[in-house]
Structure 1
């Protein structure tokens, strides 16, 4: 990024990907006196950071443990998360002028609400530490040599070759192709004979098709606080009805645990008992219709939508035991069979990636190819919604920097 660096072609490490993991790795390596080259195929670094949290960047979560991550090896993330903790993240950003404020469920955002402030911390440090960032640089090949690696690049359409002792794959995953997402990191792993766990879109809206779609479509824009679960996970947050299905935080969370053909279940009144609520209201006003009663618990639009499923015209006093059982079943165990997801372009992350059995959990170095490291989203470690994936990115970037 500065004129005196242009001619350098050999580095201690080449970092492929200028996102959260790659930028943290470059900075931490710089603190240790190592010279790195960051190759980013977009025209600016940190593209995914800039759009995260609606441009506000939920950069960590106060409650992070290995338990908020999905992986074939549930313990794999433990070491990296212990080496670079949430407290380390908070302290790092505070050192460079970013104060955090907690929102719901431990989510930490910059007080400025500007994701670009997060990116600027890294770009400023890279400049000060003389870590080179090359933009519009698409890596075409990574090759091992007798004394390190060569990396072939197309930069602004011109071919270039760089060499390094180590290579770091921080190239992200498949979600959000418009930001340059690709499977390049997975292809590099496969080219070196490493196993890759199958990938799927995660933290992604779910679609409803067929005869049920009009019911969801009529509720488009309605948000309800719910508990959403299946036999693998459970989350209490808002769901959002859309013209094509379901979205909102709880749906994004459960999507990471959902497989095609399966049901998910929704408790529309978590922490309450609809049977007890009906009983109490019936004593006060038995003539109230079920429709009006439900309109007091939900929006009128949602209560109207339930009319096709429940005896909403009946007054509370005339509800039979079977009626109340039907109501309880629908309210507390609303059953949904999604048709699919909105795919990688609407997903925030992906599940799967470079198989954790291929990597040292302590260093994130390939067991088969010494000097080749994988971090961030291209590894089979996927966090929940709410800053967890950023914490993994910072932690994996830090860990790799200590070992390159």
Structure 2
């Protein structure tokens, strides 16, 4: 009987840990299998090791999915206030930083992982590390057989339910894999095509050197495409663009598309030029730009704009070119930095094959999918963790 459980949870990340703890609170016996040598690998690196574990403004509008409203039942049953209360009850007090992001007051993601480990021990929920699942099969009696390798030995555990919480494709060194997607396909579920999300974008070709020369420069911008816009900082790098605004827009960007960057979103360069003219226009264009940008960025813009011309001498064509460049700077990325630099995966197990109230596969009784492997990709800033906690809780109430 040692290898029989109410549920086997595959993946010891945010969703899996929450599911195990919540199931334990209900008196259910689970086994969590984690392929790494420690649980919560992505928890530990998120937010620069501080873990922005939720966002006060979470709603389905903050998610990319074929059907973002699919998450409504999960957020109704386990909302941001539930996350805050749960963490506070177990010693993690949050503090708000940028745009609703909550971090532990300790600024230490390890405190969150320790909390879950403590709770799993309290509720008698075993966690098997260094355990790579080899196969998941459903026998004729309706019970799942999960075979996994631990220290070179193959073991098969049985359970009435299996929870796929093994994450997505980012980041390989953290044990990322497509295992949940393979299991979904094995049991006949659809998978929405996947791609890196919240990922830096690359610039190649004739413009590459211009961007590389600005490496390290950070500018508050408005970044947009035909679908959406974000106001946050961008970061120039030696291979292209990064920073919060770029990571956000990357989830909505598709290869071959152009993005537009407003380098001065809270000002009008036309109005600034007019004000300078009213004062005599004695300053150079570069001197005006230096009021808002670093010297290196002004020098780089000098390759595109007449920065050494007095404002009083600007013709209409040059003034228009300045406005177009500053407020409608067009960038056509060559690609992205891939799964190893992405924070999350876009796409995943299609929501049309899951019950939104339980996350159980409609065609396979007892098989559940939660967290990142589902086609529910949040914005930067704690949204993906809120989905992980909510989906873990929802599944725990059903297994």
TM range (shorter): over 0.9
Matched length: 398
1:3 aligned partner: none
1:139 paired to 2:130: no
Partner Cα separation in structure 2 for residue 116 and residue 79 of structure 1: 30
SS in 2 for 1:288: coil
1:152 paired to 2:147: yes
1:30 paired to 2:13: no
Partner Cα separation in structure 2 for residue 285 and residue 57 of structure 1: 52
Partner Cα separation in structure 1 for residue 249 and residue 46 of structure 2: 19
2:188 aligned partner: 193
| Equivalent position to 1:276, from 258, 261, 271 | 271
Partner Cα separation in structure 2 for residue 27 and residue 74 of structure 1: 26
1:103 aligned partner: 97
SS in 2 for 1:240: strand
Deviations 1:278-304 (A, max 9, x none): 111232351211111111111111011
SS in 2 for 1:80: helix
1:165 aligned partner: 160
2:115 aligned partner: 121
Deviations 1:192-243 (A, max 9, x none): 1111000000000000001100000000000000000001111000000000
| Equivalent position to 1:339, from 296, 321, 334 | 334
Partner Cα separation in structure 1 for residue 280 and residue 120 of structure 2: 68
SS in 1 for 2:300: helix
Partner Cα separation in structure 1 for residue 292 and residue 233 of structure 2: 15
Structure 2 unaligned blocks of 5 or more: none
Tell me the CA shift for residue 392 of structure 1.
0.1
| Equivalent position to 1:235, from 225, 230, 243 | 230
Deviations 1:128-161 (A, max 9, x none): 1000000000000000112310000001221100
1:312 aligned partner: 307
Partner Cα separation in structure 1 for residue 230 and residue 71 of structure 2: 21
Q: CA RMSD in A?
A: 0.8
1:300 aligned partner: 295
Partner Cα separation in structure 2 for residue 311 and residue 271 of structure 1: 22
Partner Cα separation in structure 1 for residue 116 and residue 91 of structure 2: 12
1:39 paired to 2:9: no
Q: Return structure 1 stretches of 4+ with deviation > 6 angstroms.
A: none
2:391 aligned partner: 396
1:379 aligned partner: 374
Structure 1 unaligned blocks of 5 or more: 1-6
Partner Cα separation in structure 1 for residue 167 and residue 119 of structure 2: 21
Partner Cα separation in structure 1 for residue 279 and residue 2 of structure 2: 81
1:91 aligned partner: 85
Partner Cα separation in structure 1 for residue 83 and residue 323 of structure 2: 45
Partner Cα separation in structure 2 for residue 274 and residue 72 of structure 1: 39
1:72 aligned partner: 66
1:181 aligned partner: 176
2:5 aligned partner: 11
Partner Cα separation in structure 2 for residue 223 and residue 302 of structure 1: 10
Partner Cα separation in structure 1 for residue 33 and residue 361 of structure 2: 20
SS in 1 for 2:161: strand
Partner Cα separation in structure 1 for residue 242 and residue 301 of structure 2: 19
Partner Cα separation in structure 1 for residue 196 and residue 203 of structure 2: 16
| Equivalent position to 1:57, from 34, 51, 54 | 51
SS in 2 for 1:214: helix
**Closer/same/farther in 2, CA of residues 371 and 284 from structure 1, 3 Å limit:** same
1:245 paired to 2:277: no
Partner Cα separation in structure 2 for residue 285 and residue 153 of structure 1: 77
1:257 paired to 2:225: no
Worse-superposed segment, 178-187 or 295-304:
295-304
Partner Cα separation in structure 2 for residue 122 and residue 227 of structure 1: 38
* TM-score where L is the length of structure 1: 0.98
Partner Cα separation in structure 1 for residue 239 and residue 250 of structure 2: 15
SS in 1 for 2:68: coil
